[in-house]
């Protein structure tokens, strides 16, 4: 086993820290998410490690529960975007012809509309529930995954071993899942890290604009929004979730880079 480079170690540490916090939230949060336990914007103390928020709730507890929501939504959206995006992308590449044309032009059409504006329009006419939020994010992101999956699969699809499978008479399901998928996995895994980060940023943006997670439920973008007025008074409460978003994004990125380097021969990796 080769040594893990420091950057990847840093990434692994923070990524696992945030994910553990998200999973264990009910057991490790000192207070409940909605309970008002003190004054508005109390400074850091032994009772409230990183102070209280704009209406006097414990900020650490909000952060832990908020992380749970943010990470859950991002993970679910990434899962949806990956399954739909890659399966459709592979299908388009394998079938080709007009099926590929129709699907690819449809994806181009959706991608030509800025994602954020598209999501804002959809979410403002539909009831904002967790399910709808995840579906909208997942399906919009699926267009990006589709493009990558299709490009990778088109390359693999012309290899002789795929032709050999076609000559054998194998069906499309076998070709997609047994011949193409295993060989497309490493670029897709690396892309998964990036898509997860975009999902985190996206849900945070939506919540900040008031169309994401609705109060009193917490998520990191929402916490920034709730506490942003404090910045005028020199209160740093809004910076805590901002820093959390930034560190999560960077950490996952570092891990994804490391995975890509290890699993592909691109970028001088040893695979």
Partner 1 sequence: MSDALLKVRDLKIGARVYPPGEKPRDIDIVHGVSFDLEKGKVLGLIGESGAGKSTIGLATMAYGRGGVEITGGEVWVNGREILGTSLKDLRKLRGTEVTYVSQSAAASFNPAKKIMEQVIEASIHASKFSKKDAEARAIDLFTRLGLPDPETIGDRYPHQVSGGQLQRCMTALALCPEPDLVVFDEPTTALDVTTQIDVLMAIKKAIRDTGVAALYITHDLAVVAQVSDEIMVLRMGDMVEHGTTDQIINAPKEEYTSDLVSVRSRKHEGKPPSDNPVLTIEHVTARYKGTNFDVLHDVSMELHAGQTLAVVGESGSGKSTTARVMTGLLPARDGQIVFEDRVLSADLKGRARDDLREIQMIYQMADVAMNPRQTVGTIIGRPLEFYFGMRGAEKHKRIDELLDDIEMGAEFKDRYPAELSGGQKQRVCIARALAAKPKIIICDEVTSALDPLVAEDILKLLHNLQKREQVAYLFITHDLATVRAIADSIAVMYQGRVVRYGTKAEVLSPPFDDYTDLLLSSVPEMRLGWLEEVVEHRKMESAGN
User: How many residues in the shown chain lie near partner 1 by CB under 8 A?
Assistant: 16
Instruction: Decide: is 262 part of the binding site for partner 1 (CB under 8 A).
Output: no
d(CA 55, CA 41): 7
Q: Taking the complex as a whole, how short is the minimal distance between the CB of residue 168 and partner 1, in angstroms?
A: 6
DSSP conformation class of 24: T
In contact, 92 and 100? CB cutoff 8 Å: yes
DSSP conformation class of 35: -
d(CA 252, CA 193): 6
In contact, 217 and 69? CB cutoff 8 Å: yes
> Residue 95 — φ and ψ, nearest 5°?
-75, -45
Q: Taking the complex as a whole, how short is the minimal distance between the CB of residue 98 and partner 1, in angstroms?
A: 13
Instruction: Decide: is 267 part of the binding site for partner 1 (CB under 8 A).
Output: no
Instruction: Decide: is 47 part of the binding site for partner 1 (CB under 8 A).
Output: no
The residue among 126 and 164 lying less far from partner 1, judged by its C-beta, is: 164
Q: Taking the complex as a whole, how short is the minimal distance between the CB of residue 84 and partner 1, in angstroms?
A: 23
Residue 232 burial (CB < 10 Å; 0-12/13-18/19+)? Answer: exposed
The residue among 190 and 244 lying less far from partner 1, judged by its C-beta, is: 190
Q: Taking the complex as a whole, how short is the minimal distance between the CB of residue 185 and partner 1, in angstroms?
A: 8
In contact, 271 and 263? CB cutoff 8 Å: yes
In the Cβ-directed half-sphere of 248, how many Cα atoms lie within 13 Å?
28
Q: Which range touches partner 1 (CB under 8 A), out of 53-61, 64-72, 163-171, 238-246?
A: 163-171
Q: Taking the complex as a whole, how short is the minimal distance between the CB of residue 264 and partner 1, in angstroms?
A: 12
Q: Taking the complex as a whole, how short is the minimal distance between the CB of residue 157 and partner 1, in angstroms?
A: 12
Q: According to CB under 8 A, which residues from 176 to 205 bind partner 1?
A: 178-179, 182-183
Instruction: Decide: is 112 part of the binding site for partner 1 (CB under 8 A).
Output: no
Quick one: which of 126, 151, 164, 173 contacts partner 1 (CB under 8 A)?
A: 164
Instruction: Decide: is 214 part of the binding site for partner 1 (CB under 8 A).
Output: no
Q: Taking the complex as a whole, how short is the minimal distance between the CB of residue 265 and partner 1, in angstroms?
A: 10
The residue among 119 and 259 lying less far from partner 1, judged by its C-beta, is: 259
Beta-strand ranges (E) seen in 98-249 are none
In contact, 48 and 42? CB cutoff 8 Å: yes
In contact, 213 and 219? CB cutoff 8 Å: yes
User: Which residues contribute to the site for partner 1 (CB under 8 A)?
Assistant: 159-161, 163-164, 166-170, 178-179, 182-183, 270-271
């Amino acid at each position: 086993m080769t040594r893990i480079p420091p950057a990847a170690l840093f990434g692994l540490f923070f990524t696992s820290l945030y994910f553990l916090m998200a999973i264990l939230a009910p057991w490790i949060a000192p207070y409940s998410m909605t309970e008002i336990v003190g004054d508005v914007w109390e400074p850091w103390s032994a009772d409230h490690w990183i102070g209280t928020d704009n209406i006097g709730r414990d900020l650490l507890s909000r952060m832990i529960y908020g992380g749970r929501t943010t990470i859950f939504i991002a993970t679910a959206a990434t899962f949806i975007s990956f399954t739909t995006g890659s399966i459709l992308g592979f299908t388009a590449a394998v079938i080709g012809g007009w099926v590929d044309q129709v699907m690819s032009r449809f994806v181009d059409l959706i991608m030509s509309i800025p994602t954020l504006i598209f999501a804002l329009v959809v979410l403002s006419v539909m009831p904002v529930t967790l399910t709808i939020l995840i579906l909208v994010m997942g399906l919009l992101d699926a267009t990006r995954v589709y493009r990558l999956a299709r490009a990778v699969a088109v390359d693999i699809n012309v290899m002789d071993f795929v032709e050999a499978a076609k000559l054998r008479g194998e069906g499309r399901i076998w070709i997609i899942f047994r011949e193409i998928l295993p060989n497309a996995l490493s670029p897709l895994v690396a892309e998964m890290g990036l898509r997860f980060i975009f999902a985190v940023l996206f849900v945070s943006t939506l919540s900040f604009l008031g169309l994401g997670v609705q109060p009193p439920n917490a998520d990191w973008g929402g916490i920034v929004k709730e506490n942003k007025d404090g910045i005028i008074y020199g209160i740093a409460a809004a910076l805590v979730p901002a820093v959390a978003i930034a560190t999560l994004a960077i950490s996952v990125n570092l891990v994804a880079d490391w995975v890509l380097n290890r699993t592909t021969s691109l970028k001088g990796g040893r695979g």
